[in-house]
């Protein structure tokens, strides 16, 4: 009966396929931006991105428009898109906001985390210690991001997670991270373990405090780095 109305069954299928390609290209480019593949304030050329993502210029422009709306890139009419660059004041405001939101997520995780969640976080902390060796910095940063993702997953709080994701703090950290530091802060792993302990003991108030301490330490380290006239 549907064919009698003149509807083309293939039209919906094509539309779904196009939407799927656009979503994949968006996710792939977003992952590249978050991974630090591009330097801050780098020009993004259509020819490079269409080849890398395997999409048309029209699809790429849709992807870049969405990423610009979400703050991952900046774009101007008739000009190329560029990766985001943050002023010092913007960076510090973002990190301060992150402290508030992730502290609330840690408190939620303390009441909602499963035994499996806690075991996964413990394994991540163990692997972070193993990265305290020459050449282990990049894997450490990946595990560091994963630990915070695991807390968000354990918190099971969609609204807080959405707000944290909108902060773009991974881009801030990539821009201002000390590239000459051979190893991450040793205290950082201990701070992660302290957060985990409060979650494991179901102490929401202590979990929030431990997370605030951890993230404020990272922010203060950034402020000290920026205050150094050599940097």
Per-residue pLDDT tens digits for 183-209: 556 788 999 999 999 999 999 999 999
Residue 229: pLDDT band by 50, 70, 90 thresholds? very low
**8-22, 109-123, 211-225, range with the lowest pLDDT:** 8-22
Inter-residue contact 136 to 214 (CB < 8 Å): no
Name the band, by pLDDT with cuts 50, 70 and 90, for residue 3. Answer: very low
Tens of pLDDT along 25-61?
999 999 999 888 898 999 999 999 999 999 999 999 9
70-126 pLDDT per residue, tens: 999 998 766 679 999 999 889 889 999 999 999 999 999 999 999 999 999 999 999
Stated as kind and residue range, the H or E segment containing 28 is helix 9-34
Please tell me the distance from the alpha carbon of residue 133 to that of residue 128, in angstroms, as a whole number: 10
158-170 pLDDT, tens digit each: 999 999 989 998 8
Q: Parallel, antiparallel, or unpaired for β 73-74 and 81-83?
A: antiparallel
Q: What pTM does this model have?
A: 0.77
Q: What is the secondary structure of 66-98 as a DSSP string?
A: HHHHHTSEE--TTS-EEE----HHHHHHHHHHH
Q: Which of 129, 228, 147, 156 is nearest to 195 (CA)?
A: 147
- Specify the pLDDT at position 118: 98
- Residue for token pair 């630090």: 36
CA–CA separation, 148 and 144 (whole Å):
7
Confidence at residue 185, expressed as pLDDT on a 0 to 100 scale: 66
Report residue 7: phi and psi, to 5°. Answer: -75, 135
Q: Give the pLDDT score at 5.
A: 44
Nearest to 146 by CA among 120, 116, 173, 168: 120
pLDDT value of position 223: 73
């Amino acid at each position: 009966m549907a064919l009698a109305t003149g509807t083309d069954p293939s039209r919906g299928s094509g539309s779904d396929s196009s939407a799927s390609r656009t979503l994949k290209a968006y996710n792939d480019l977003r992952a590249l931006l978050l991974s630090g593949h591009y330097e801050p304030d780098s020009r993004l050329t259509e020819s490079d991105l269409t080849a890398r993502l395997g999409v048309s210029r029209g699809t790429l422009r849709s992807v870049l428009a969405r990423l610009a709306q979400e703050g991952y890139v900046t774009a101007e009419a008739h000009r190329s898109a560029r990766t985001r660059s943050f002023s010092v004041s913007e960076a510090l405001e973002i990190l301060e906001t992150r402290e508030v939101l992730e502290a609330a997520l840690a408190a939620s995780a303390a009441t909602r985390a499963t035994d499996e969640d806690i075991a996964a976080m413990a394994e991540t902390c163990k692997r972070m210690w193993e990265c305290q060796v020459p050449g282990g910095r990049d894997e450490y940063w990946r595990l560091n991001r994963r630990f915070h993702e695991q807390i968000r997953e354990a918190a099971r709080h969609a609204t807080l997670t959405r707000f944290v994701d909108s902060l773009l703090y991974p881009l801030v950290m990539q821009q201002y991270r000390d590239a000459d530091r051979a190893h991450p802060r040793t205290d950082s792993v201990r701070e992660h373990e302290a957060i985990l302990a409060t979650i494991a003991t179901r102490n929401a108030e202590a979990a929030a405090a431990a997370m605030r301490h951890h993230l404020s330490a990272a922010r203060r380290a950034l402020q000290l780095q920026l205050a150094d006239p050599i940097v």
